[in-house]
Amino acid sequence: MTSDSIILSIIILAYLGVIGYFSLHGFRTTKSTKDYLVAGCSIHPFVMAMSYDAAFISTSSIVGFGGVAGQFGLGLLWLPFMNIAIGVFIAFIFFGRRTRKMGHSINAHTFPEFIGTRFDSKGLRISSSLIIFIFIPLYSGVVLIGGARFIEKIMGLNYNAALMIFAVIIALYVIIGGLKGVMYVDAFMGSIMVLGMIFLASVTYYKLGGIVEAHEKLTQMAPLVPAKLQALGHIGWTQMPELNSTWWWILVSSLMLGVGIGVLAQPQLAVRFMTVKSGKQLNRAVLIGSIFILLTAGVAYVVGALSNVWFYETQKQIAIKAAGGNCDLIIPLFIKTAMPKWFVYIFTITLLSAAMSTLSSLFHVTGTSIGHDFFCSVFKRHKDSMSITKAGIIFGIIVSVVLGYLLPPGIVARGTAIFLGVCAATFLPLYAAAIYWKRTTKSGVWASMLTGLGVSLFCLTFLHRKESAALGICKFLTGKTELISSHPWPYVDSIVISLPLSLLALVAVSLITKQFNYKHICKCFHEIGSIRKK
């Protein structure tokens, strides 16, 4: 074993030791199902904010989207702006406070339980839990891929081995510590991510001659954009793509809208609003969350784009060519070749933190969906819910690992966008209505959820070229890769169609159907009515 390997091993063992400590702390302070599912509703706002953002900003953001920025440029910076404006400010202020208040009022511990109890429907709780249980592993799989690809490139470890090591470590501390352990570990990991990304940005600008010079160099590289990318609308790494071009539609509809809006309806994030004591603590978390997004996702996209300058100056080729055409390898390769060796070790921990913080939350919500929400609702054996939840976590991990082996190269950013887009269309209208619109009916919620999910799957199967061509169902049935081939429809993300239709279905059906259990609704809104007064 080389001295470098010994140093890295020591750092990783120390890192795992801290994780073990927080997991043990979570285990010792978890005395009830409420503790395991919503951390006892007593989490500090700093821990909540860091956990929320660390669960959202993963290797898919740093490696996947950072690589996309390396390929297409700084137009992707609109995404962290959307994340801050929608995923933090709107989420915490307009969704978080009401979710926390209503969740405590109706004694809800998970997102499916929140929806099912709010609309007095066991069927909604069961259905939403199954949707989460089925689709979460796709997101988990792409996050696993992002982390494993980094370890493969940096440490020379076999990709398959990296995937398994990730999964086993995360499984242990999620199962043992519950949500308390997960959130404490997330906050620790989030702090590491911020420090690592600050140093990454500083060294990048230093090596490229300063902030102004680095961006001027990147601007002057516009003529080096390959003809294949120019045909997609790529006109330079410091410019937005050509209006109405293929890449413009991918950037705006899939990445900005799909990911920017989709964060509002992620079950693993919504449940964190229920872990704090008061709405005032959510207000305090807004600034922390915004700074975190800026210093993690924002830095990753800037560094990804600027890596083109480094690769051209040192290797006479742009980033995507240096990475062999796989944008998921741009950030790992840049770190390995441009950064000091000692920082490679630190950034390895940063990427481990990004992957593990997100995966722990995803695995936790996978387990609670199948254990607490599905099993308890169907079989009414609440005393076994904890065991089934832990079994569900293990099953979700197994499925995610299998997907990590099967999903194609360059899938990280796209897989994330698919998951968030489906979540937004399926859950966002009914989630917003649950906390804001008394007139919403059970039938309206069913119509919205089924419309959002159904239209999303239809678009992915028959309209959006990237997925429809890969699935092959449309080709088999119609002889064409997509039903509508005229520009721009093969590149318009499903969220542009599915989310408005889901919202329309909710409003239209609610208005023409009878409202139910009015006293139940009044109680829910009476509990959150004091929010405005405060």
Classify residue 95 by its DSSP letter.
Answer: I
Domains and CATH numbers, the chain: 41-409 (1.20.1730.10)
Identify the band that residue 182 occupies on the pLDDT scale cut at 50, 70 and 90. Answer: low
Residue 491: both structure tokens together: 């590149």
Among 96, 126, 414, 138, CA closest to 264 = 96
At residue 39, the pLDDT reads 46
Query: What's the half-sphere exposure (Cβ side, CA atoms, 13 Å) at 142?
Result: 26
Task: Report d(CA 431, CA 423) in Å as an integer.
Answer: 11
Classify residue 109 by its DSSP letter.
Answer: -
Global confidence as pTM: 0.81
Which residue's entry shows tokens 């689709």?
135
Share of the chain above pLDDT 90, in %: 31
Residue 175: both structure tokens together: 């199962």
Task: Report d(CA 5, CA 341) in Å as an integer.
Answer: 11
The answer on pLDDT for 279 being more than 50 is yes
Identify the band that residue 178 occupies on the pLDDT scale cut at 50, 70 and 90. Answer: low
Classify residue 226 by its DSSP letter.
Answer: -
Higher pLDDT, 94 or 6: 94
Residue 160: both structure tokens together: 């398959």
At residue 267, the pLDDT reads 82
The mean of the pLDDT values for the chain is 81
Higher pLDDT, 73 or 37: 73
On whether the CB atoms of residues 366 and 136 are closer than 8 A, the answer is yes
Identify the band that residue 40 occupies on the pLDDT scale cut at 50, 70 and 90. Answer: very low
Q: What is the average pLDDT across 134-140? A: 80
Identify the band that residue 210 occupies on the pLDDT scale cut at 50, 70 and 90. Answer: very high
CB atoms within 10 A of CB 85: 14
At residue 240, the pLDDT reads 93
Identify the band that residue 261 occupies on the pLDDT scale cut at 50, 70 and 90. Answer: confident
At residue 533, the pLDDT reads 47
At residue 38, the pLDDT reads 45
Task: Report d(CA 433, CA 206) in Å as an integer.
Answer: 49
Task: Report d(CA 403, CA 491) in Å as an integer.
Answer: 24
Give residue-wise pLDDT tens across range 442-458: 999 999 999 999 999 99
At residue 30, the pLDDT reads 56
Give residue-wise pLDDT tens across range 348-382: 777 777 777 777 777 778 877 877 788 777 776 65
